[in-house]
């Protein structure tokens, strides 16, 4: 089984292969408000293996910068099978291509 490890606020979280439900929720998050995408994608990806990572708990984590947060989301999207381009500085967060 494939997995990725993401780092949030200095803690590593291993995420195993995503369920169909998680993939559907990520797709829904990508079609919504781009400003809330990070806040949705990370908890969705963590929901099966790390249920303590919720949208509310994520708001309180010291993630460092929007660039670091975007990098985590891009890694999750790549893991989920999306074609993700690295975004130039100052552009909107990564999404489905």
Pairing label, strands 3-8, 11-16: antiparallel
Backbone angles phi, psi at 35, to 5 degrees: -70, -20
* pLDDT of 97 above 70: no
Give the pLDDT band (50/70/90) at residue 86: low
* pLDDT of 77 above 60: yes
Chain-centroid distance of CA 33 in Å reads 15
What is the domain partition of the chain in residue ranges?
3-79
Chain-centroid distance of CA 89 in Å reads 18
Q: What is the pTM of this model?
A: 0.82
Helix (H) / strand (E) containing 13: strand 11-16
Q: What is the mean pLDDT of residues 29-36?
A: 84
* pLDDT of 92 above 60: no
Per-chain mean pLDDT for the chain: 87
């Amino acid at each position: 089984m494939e997995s990725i490890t993401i780092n949030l606020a200095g803690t590593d979280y291993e995420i195993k292969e995503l369920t169909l439900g998680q993939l559907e929720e990520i797709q829904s998050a990508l079609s919504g408000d781009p400003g809330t995408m990070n806040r949705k994608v990370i908890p969705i990806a963590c929901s099966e293996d790390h249920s303590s990572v919720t949208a509310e708990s994520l708001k309180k984590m010291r993630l460092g910068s929007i660039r670091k947060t975007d990098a985590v989301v891009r890694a999750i999207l790549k893991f989920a099978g999306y074609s993700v381009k690295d975004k130039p500085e100052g552009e909107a967060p990564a999404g489905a291509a």
